[in-house]
Structure 1
């Protein structure tokens, strides 16, 4: 599971971001200022940092410079400072993205996904589920000594569900995570791809099943 560090001296902002990030399957760690964030970075494996600018002890610019100097992770600044000079200073400090408060949580989520893709963190691990291994490096599903290549969206949908076994995803969440926020088709596209995955994988042979939660969405459960 990917871990996101939320650095903001406003507890309400931290709570809001925590809610949406955890709902989307991320682990979160919080810091109330830049100094606390640096201590956390020394102790924890962090995959992405969300950083406010105006904070006590160590401000967001300084924190971003330190992260860029010592850690190879993406940084997104989320701040009330919206002037072009503020943005210039942020990018000079090394931020990878910049969002002005008030923000739309959904936009934060899809920007995070884009940053993680750019840093190749979403695809860094193999996912073991049931009797298969989903290899996100080469987009293959390994079954024993054999490799299966799926159509791209089927692969990404299977990987998304398998990475969070027993977690319910709505169709809307799966559309955002697999097809992207700008997808213009029907959410029934998800149903079609789920049907194809069920035809390819059986609980008896492959050790997992994709269950429908009526009126809500889908979840993957390991059976063996």
Structure 2
């Protein structure tokens, strides 16, 4: 699933890097994709811009003079619900662990592919700001997160709130096997005190509403969990 140019117009990306060539390259590429972009060359400027620009995504270089990317990430995460993708020329595992522990949502070493960075931006938007996408089409599914509407092969599905969240989680992660425990954590919450067979009950209901009698849409992967295939 990709973010369309129309959808990208709702998404603000703040670029932070002390190398002008990288900033220009990223800004031109993202603007061409439709995103709203602001750029900063140091940490203080980035924090100031974040106040006025209110970005959804921050592409943040680690190695900068003065305030480094770790400090900027920590400050941003304390102030606003922003997704941070950190860039670094250093590949040490310790750096990645430090960035993630400070709240970074993703990590990419330099040099990087613009196509891969774009895919990671889109993944962060889908996971953290799905309301910005409005209606999204994924294979035979259409989901409007704002209106809580789901369609399958042009047919609107009558779903309960929990069924909606479960199907959305499965569809947004299509092609991946999701365990019952992972589904419980994401859809029902970490503090859910019930039995994990509740997932089976809801999967059965979704299959009925999808008319998925042969289990070709929501597949059971024995001993592992469930996987949605776009058929």
Cα deviation per residue 1:24-80 (whole Å; 9 max; x = unaligned)? 110110000111000011112211100001112211000000011111111000111
Residue 22 in structure 1 maps to residue 31 in structure 2: yes
* Structure 2 segments unaligned to the other structure (5+ residues): 1-9, 136-142, 157-171, 176-231
| Contact 2:88-2:110 within 8 A present in 1 as well | yes
User: Counterpart of 1:102?
Assistant: 111
Paired residue total: 143
Equivalent residue, structure 1, for 2:48 = 39
| Secondary structure of the structure 2 residue equivalent to 1:106 | helix
Task: Name stretches of at least 5 consecutive residues in structure 1 with no aligned partner.
Answer: 128-133, 141-148, 156-178, 183-224
**Deviation at residue 151 of structure 1 after TM alignment:** 4.0
The alignment yields a C-alpha RMSD, in angstroms, of 2.8
Task: State the alpha-carbon separation in 2 of the partners of residues 109 and 8 from structure 1.
Answer: 17
Give the secondary structure class of the aligned counterpart of 2:63: coil
TM-score normalised over the length of structure 2: 0.56
Q: How does 1:147-162 map to 2 (within 5 A)?
A: 150-151=151-152
Distance 1:71 1:153, change over 3 A: farther
Poorly superposed stretches of 4+, deviation over 2 Å: 122-127, 149-155
For normalisation by structure 1, the TM-score amounts to 0.57
Q: Which string of whole-angstrom CA distances, capped at 9 and with x for unpartnered residues, describes residues 177-202 of structure 1?
A: xx99x9xxxxxxxxxxxxxxxxxxxx
Q: Tell me, what secondary structure is at the counterpart of 2:13?
A: strand
Secondary structure of residue in 1 paired with 2:131: coil
CA pair 102-125 structure 1, distance change in 2 beyond 3 A: closer
1:1-224 alignment runs, 5 A limit? 1-119=10-128, 121-124=129-132, 136-138=145-147, 140=149, 150-151=151-152
CA contact (8 A) 2:73 2:102 kept: yes
2: CA distance between counterparts of 1:152 and 1:116? 25
